[in-house]
């Protein structure tokens, strides 16, 4: 598996998902200026000193200067990932494909490598299962999810309301949504979801988000990493 990459403004994730940048208006300069306005000193360009300033803000967890930017993504992810994502409330905006208003596509997530879980809450470890076991589990998931989608179709054909028919669809079903955030809320998402305690699948999205973050705000990103991915 090669390294994750942005191609045409988009990162493919999992079997059918993606994170695409729909628009961005963010810069390291805006962070520096938002901090420097405290001293009534605003500038048109970054200086060497600003690198240190941004690192200082990150380390000392002065969060507000990181709010003056904007990222808008289109994200396609399995529902169980979207569920975790949408628990992020502050500085995050979402608009999602509705299973009440339109028929959901027959697309669902199947893990490439299946894992087992050992240990206790707070310190779980996730280990890959054997190829043979993985293959079997993948087939089972595909079969069960596939049957659920067939049932969904037949309920719709019977005239059942879409919002009711979806009851049978699995948590693996893909959904799609607009997601807007600012650099601070983006870092908060990444600090929690690109972490050892996060579930592998949402971690992939957090890693992709970091690629876009790094592109737009390289100095801020570096300071974020340097300070242990702790959101300010």
Q: Any contact of residue 77 with its own copies (CB under 8 A)?
A: no
Q: Which of residues 141-180 bind its own copies (CB under 8 A)?
A: 141, 144-145, 147-148, 151, 154-155, 158-164, 166-173, 176-178, 180
The residue within the footprint of its own copies, chosen from 25, 131, 135, 218 (CB under 8 A), is 25
Q: Which of 89, 100, 115, 193 is catalytic?
A: 193
Which member of 39, 45, 48, 157 binds its own copies (CB under 8 A)? Answer: 39
Q: Which of 187, 199, 215 is nearest to 77 (CA)?
A: 199
Interface positions, 111-130, toward its own copies (CB under 8 A): 111, 114-117, 121-122, 124, 126, 129
CA end-to-end span of the chain: 32
| Alpha-carbon span 131 to 137, nearest angstrom | 10
Shortest Å distance, C-beta 181 to its own copies: 10
Q: Is 100 in the site for its own copies (CB under 8 A)?
A: yes
DSSP for 95-144, written as a single string: EE--TTTSPPPS-B---SS-EEEES-TTS-EEEEPPHHHHHHHHHHHHHH
Residues 6 or more apart whose Cβ sits within 8 Å of residue 172? 78, 79, 80, 108, 109, 110, 141, 145
Minimum gap (Å) between residue 156 Cβ and its own copies: 10
The reply on whether position 228 binds its own copies by CB under 8 A is: no
Task: Establish if 219 lies at the interface with its own copies (CB under 8 A).
Answer: no
């Amino acid at each position: 598996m090669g390294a994750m990459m942005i191609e045409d403004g988009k990162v493919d994730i999992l079997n059918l998902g993606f994170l695409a940048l729909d628009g961005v208006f963010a810069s390291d300069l805006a962070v520096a200026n938002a901090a420097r306005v405290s001293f009534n000193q605003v500038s048109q360009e970054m200086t060497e000193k600003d690198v240190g300033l941004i690192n200082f803000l990150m380390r000392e967890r002065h969060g507000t200067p990181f709010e003056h930017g904007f990222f808008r993504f289109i994200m396609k992810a399995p529902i169980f990932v979207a569920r975790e994502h949408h628990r992020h409330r502050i500085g995050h905006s979402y608009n999602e494909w509705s299973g009440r208003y339109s028929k959901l596509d027959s697309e669902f997530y199947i893990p490439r490598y299946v894992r087992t879980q050992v240990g206790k809450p707070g310190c779980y470890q996730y280990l890959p299962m054997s190829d043979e076991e993985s293959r079997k589990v993948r087939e089972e998931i595909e079969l069960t999810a596939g049957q659920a989608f067939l049932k969904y179709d037949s309920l719709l054909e019977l005239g059942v309301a879409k919002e009711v028919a979806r009851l049978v669809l699995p948590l693996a079903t893909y959904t799609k949504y607009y997601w807007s955030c600012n650099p601070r809320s983006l870092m908060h998402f990444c600090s929690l979801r690109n972490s050892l305690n996060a579930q592998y699948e949402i971690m992939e999205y957090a890693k992709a988000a970091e690629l876009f973050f790094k592109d737009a705000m390289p100095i801020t990103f570096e300071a974020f990493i340097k300070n242990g991915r702790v959101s300010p």
